[in-house]
Amino acid sequence: MRHICFASFRDRVLSSLPFLPKAPKPSSPLPRAAAAAAMDKSMLGDLDGLPEEDKMRMAVMIEQIQIRDSLRMYNSLVERCFTDCVDTFRRKTLDKQEESCVRRCAEKFLKHSMRVGMRFAELNQGVATPD
């Protein structure tokens, strides 16, 4: 029973967050090679010496890692907010206090994640630039 409620809770959390970007539905899927070639060059670092095939494989691996990490963050957000905010299972829907708690929890979690990401980017720039 908890698993069913958890899934509907997860969907409700995501639909209630206005600042989460909605992924556009592709009209036609890009081939793997084209998607890998379109990846930001800064993500691949200094791989100019590698053959094109290895660069493509590396780009695909980076893309898979990014997807995995974003799914982990998403699942962590849902689990944490659900555990912290939902106390009872008397109804199919969240009451106003639970909904408010979930919204605050999700916003706080995502803002924290964005701040950590920005801080890592700042630190990365400091390391990459010789002083």
Give the pTM: 0.54
For residue range 79-104, what is the model confidence (pLDDT) as tens digits?
Answer: 999 999 998 888 888 899 999 999 99
For residue range 21-62, what is the model confidence (pLDDT) as tens digits?
Answer: 444 444 444 444 444 444 445 555 566 778 888 888 988 999
> For the chain, what percent of residues have pLDDT higher than 70?
61
Work out whether the CA dihedral 84, 85, 90, 91 comes out positive or negative: negative
Q: What are phi and psi of 110, to 5 degrees?
A: -70, -40
Which sequence spans correspond to the domains of the chain? 1-14+30-89
